[in-house]
Amino acid sequence: MTSGSTETCPLPAESCTLVGSGSRPRWEAIARRGFDYVQLTKPRILSMALLAVTAGYALGSGVDFRLTRLLHALLGIGLVAAAAGTLNQYAERRTDGRMRRTASRPLPAKRLRPRPALVFGSLLAVLGLGHLLVHVNGLTAALSAFTLVAYLGVYTPMKRMTALCTAVGAIPGAMPPVLGWVAAGGSLDTAALSLFGILYLWQFPHFLAIGWLYRHDYARAGLRMLPALSVTNSVASSASFSELKCPEEAFTDARPWAAQMTGLLSVLGAGGLFAVSLLPWLSGFATAAYAPIAIFLSATYFGFAWRFAKWRSRRSARHLLWCSLAYLPLLLASLVVSHFWPLAT
């Protein structure tokens, strides 16, 4: 046994990892622990939300654009969004352990313990809401609190109860541009509602495509997502992923109506964007240059949703997901540019 080994350390294994001088030096262990805490916040979802907040703020501020206020809004809303992701992973840690796509998250993989994660998420929420209240405005703080409660207190438990959870969860999911709008001093008017509508409808094809790709995972975990209802689980939902070498073999296709409804709702969501995405132009909030861009993007999104509804294959679901990830930033960017272009000329 070498002198750098941690095998003879009298402390708990976790502490030995931090103080040992072998293959895992202290700085590496700390970095990995920090990375796990970052993963709790769901950074990819967080970045998309902050992009929508920035777009909403830019549209709501107009010529009175103040960078300092935007940074305060991004910090406060970002902390609340990070809290939502962290507390969601805390609440669903056992469910996550039963799904292939989430089994490697810090809590189900036992790289972090639940109580520190709960404290971390709660602290993020308090800091974020307090920052918004002090440095932005009360309406932004109140709407952020509503978003947090709706996501954690309503949507998260509903996923185990009813397929309507997607429609309900899309409400807090559509709030980021509205939060940016009110942070800039805007009121809850038609323009804010149009931003909400765009984000709300966008989520249906997006999340139904994800649900279709991972419907076996959702079904085995006992989640009532609409795509998961299209398959029947023949293995007890308490089985962990590691106990199943080929989890798809545990399922058989069933309930064709659920598969058909998954495709139909994807088409309806993408189709609804044709009208809702044009509301900023129809209300005079965006210039005519925005309209053809919105039509082209919405038509493309609709085409991928139609293809998914027709084939309901992994390939078509993956293509729809990729399209959704491109659609939203491109549409928001074109809306912001269209709104500011007349002001700059």
- The answer to whether 124 touches 77, Cβ cutoff 8 Å, is no
Quote the tokens at residue 338. Answer: 């269209």
How far, in whole angstroms, is CA 312 from its chain's centroid? 23
Task: Enter the tokens of residue 47.
Answer: 């970045």
Q: Give mean pLDDT, residues 42-64.
A: 93
Which pLDDT belongs to residue 69?
A: 96
Report yes or no: 56 and 177 within 8 Å, Cβ to Cβ: yes
* pLDDT for 45: 96
- pTM of full prediction above 0.85: yes
User: From CA 29, how far away is CA 47, in angstroms rounded?
Assistant: 26
d(C-alpha 70, C-alpha 43), whole Å: 19
* Residue in 181, 172, 168 with CA at minimum distance from that of residue 199: 172
Q: Which residues contact 4 (CB under 8 A, 6 or more apart)?
A: 20, 21, 22
The CATH architecture to which 13-186 belongs is Orthogonal Bundle (1.10)
Q: Which of 97-111, 201-215, 229-243, 265-279 has the weakest average pLDDT?
A: 229-243
Q: At a CB cut-off of 8 Å and minimum separation 6, what does 143 contact?
A: 175, 178, 179, 182
Beta-carbon count within 10 A of 44 CB: 10
Residue 5, pLDDT above cutoff 80: no
Q: How many CB atoms lie within 10 A of CB 289?
A: 13
CA–CA gap between residue 213 and residue 83 (Å, rounded): 27
Distances (CA, A) of 211 to 227, 262, 270, 343: 6, 9, 16, 42
**Summary count for the chain: helices (H), strands (E):** 16, 2
Domain boundary assignment for the chain: 13-186, 189-345
- The predicted-structure confidence for 287-319, as pLDDT tens digits, reads as follows 999 999 999 999 999 999 999 999 999 999 999
pLDDT in tens, 241-271: 444 444 565 566 778 899 999 999 999 999 9
Task: Taking the CA atoms of 117, 120, 123 and 125 in sequence, report the sign of the dihedral they define.
Answer: negative
Q: For position 28, what pLDDT does the model report?
A: 85
- Straight-line distance from the first to the last Cα atom of the chain, in angstroms, rounded to the nearest whole number: 74
96, 108 in Cβ contact below 8 A?
Answer: yes
- What is the C-alpha to C-alpha distance for residues 310 and 316, in angstroms, rounded to an integer? 9
Closest by Cα among 307, 83, 58, 55 to 175 = 55
